[in-house]
Chains A and B, each alone.
Chain A
């Protein structure tokens, strides 16, 4: 730094110097330059010596010593098997997560958008379709169930690379230091995303802030590091996967289980303990953990008799029997809706360019009714099979309001102000003939917990956007 400053000083002062001094100045410049170069060389040599000394510092005792980690199973092949599963699984979770964000139609305004400051991170948003009607049921079921199922694989992957956390030196070069910072984002990010997601579906709201904000921005922090990690390790992974045959590993018993050959990354132990488990056994145990989690979880997204097989999942029982006996996201009581809100005084208001229309529930029931068989699918991953809804088409209300080609509708609930007490739906959602303001379900009046006197039901719409206890529809161009 110092040397560089001195060398450049004469150059910067040149325009003020008299012409006759040119030759003299040139010589002085050369001398200064030479002196500076000598200084730089000496400095660099000193720095190199220092680096060498640091490099030769022996690792402190404990996990920093190469002999500390002894599992004979650790090695690039096993890590790569877990890595490949996570590469595919996490990519799928990320894509379904992006779709979940798009399905809320955040582009329609602040009411729909939990993360209005997203900026460029919403670059891919598009009008969420209404067909196939089971789209959100599928994408969100996959997002949540796959997240739960991958937990053992994630644990195994992190176990397999733990010696790298304690590698010595902690930072060998600028590149190495930056890469480790990126790894902190990767590991912190992946655990943060899994933890916030998994405790949110259990309604355990202990995280600091809104779930949507944390999970959405956390996903982008994670994926930035994930893409780099995949980019830097993909070739190493494929090489490691080719180094051993999976079929051969699955036939190898304990007596023939040997450590992998030493690797430059130091995953393979220098002093391996005798094996107590085969690689086949390790893969079976991790895979078995995933299968078991799948077995006690997936039923809540499939429904029917399989719901009861989801022994530990949050929505594994029906809250009630009869026509209204299907899953409830938020009961009336939990969001402050009382029978008084929806008693005889309840009216439905339709706003548009013309005069406001007001209907009692009896008047609505007297109008021609339409039916639609549609599921309820929640952001928490659970869903119901199709329910038989009946009521009035949103498109018909749009025509009544004097806006048959309405571009959006603001749906407002009698629910006291809070998350999802109102929502904006897009034109394609209004005009789908299956989009209803439902009054009845499965041949009976809606129960209070399912949105009596009237609720919205739109194909492929996230559950929370099928607003319950509706009292006002405002159509816009």
Chain B
């Protein structure tokens, strides 16, 4: 048992479960690859690569860049943390685009003929939703800014007791 674990890297149950799983995988894969195997394999592995090595690095980079580019705008006025007021509407608008991009960009040519509906509405609607999300975020940030600056202003006019004690 111990020798098996040293050779294999885990218990025998682990091996049995994985072999059983791979048997089912193989059974389904043979059928999945029955027609146009290369293209299907590209789609299957490509799906993981597209997400892990392209989409995720891109949005991480966008997030880091937003931080770096917009960080050094030092003013005399206090600045509350702002990144989430940009991040949240971008994320929400982004997932809508990710899911509904074929209709938003009017890509599926069979759609109008099959359903009797037009695809023209989707781009406008997505842009409108995006606008609403960013306006709502901007309003929320403006309110936050006003609250923070008012508080700071009040502090300036009436020195805090802690400040008195220190001086």
The answer to whether residues A188 and B114 also contact, given A228-B18, A285-B88, A312-B122 and a CB cut-off of 8 A, is: no
Asked if B25 and A276 sit within 8 Å, CB to CB, the answer is no
B39 within 8 Å of A by Cβ?
yes
- B29 contacts the other chain (Cβ, under 8 Å)? yes
Which residues in A have their C-beta under 8 angstroms from that of B7? 174
Contact B9 A187 (CB under 8 A): no
A238 vs B10: C-alpha distance when bound (angstroms): 21
Flag the segment in A7-15, A114-122, A357-365, A428-436 that touches B.
Answer: A114-122
Given A192-B43, A289-B92: A198 touches B99 (CB 8 Å cut-off): yes
B95 touches A293 (CB 8 A): yes
Chain A's interface size range is 35 or more
Contact pick for B34, options A117, A158, A189, A205, CB 8 Å: A117
**Known contacts A115-B31, A213-B32; is-contact A314 B111 (Cβ 8 Å):** yes
Cβ of B52 to closest chain A Cβ, rounded Å: 6
A224 touches B36 (CB 8 A): no
Interface positions of B from 28 to 65, Cβ below 8 Å from A? 28-29, 31-32, 34-36, 39-40, 42-45, 47-48, 50-52, 56
The verdict on A247 contacting chain B, using a C-beta distance below 8 Å, is no
* B31 in contact with A314 (CB, 8 Å): no
Query: Which B residues lie within 8 Å of A179 (CB)?
Result: 14, 18
CB distance from A42 to the nearest CB of B (A): 17
Q: Tell me if B83 counts as interface (CB < 8 A to partner A).
A: yes
When A174-B8, A312-B122 are in contact, do A152 and B114 touch as well, CB less than 8 Å? Answer: no
- CB neighbours (8 Å) of B67 from chain A are 276
> How far apart sit A328 and B121, CA to CA, in the bound complex (Å)?
18
Assess whether B21 is in contact with A224, with CB atoms less than 8 Å apart: yes
Number of A-B contacts (CB under 8 A): 204
Give chain B nearest CB distance to A407 CB in angstroms. 29
Partner pick for A331 among B36, B40, B104, B115, CB 8 A cutoff: B115
Q: A458-473: which have CB < 8 Å to B?
A: none
Is the beta-carbon distance between A188 and B48 smaller than 8 angstroms?
A: yes
- Selecting from A92-100, A215-223, A387-395, A410-418, the interface stretch reads A215-223
How far apart are the CA atoms of A115 and B110 in the complex, in Å? 24
Whole-angstrom distance between the alpha carbons of A157 and B29 in the complex? 25
244-291 of chain A: CB within 8 A of chain B = 254, 276-277, 281, 285, 288-289
- A contact residues vs B (CB 8 Å cutoff): 115, 117-121, 148, 151-152, 155, 158-159, 162, 165, 172-176, 178-179, 181-182, 184-185, 187-189, 191-192, 195, 198-199, 202-205, 207-210, 213-214, 217-218, 220-221, 223-225, 227-228, 231-232, 254, 276-277, 281, 285, 288-289, 292-293, 296, 311-315, 317, 319-320, 327-331, 333-334, 449
> Can you show 11 pairs from A to B with CB atoms below 8 A apart?
A121-B28, A148-B99, A178-B22, A202-B103, A203-B108, A208-B39, A285-B88, A288-B88, A292-B96, A296-B100, A296-B129
Other 19 A-B pairs with CB < 8 A, given A199-B102, A281-B84, A334-B113: A119-B27, A148-B99, A188-B44, A202-B102, A204-B108, A214-B40, A217-B29, A221-B29, A224-B21, A224-B24, A232-B17, A277-B83, A277-B84, A288-B88, A289-B91, A292-B95, A330-B114, A331-B115, A331-B116
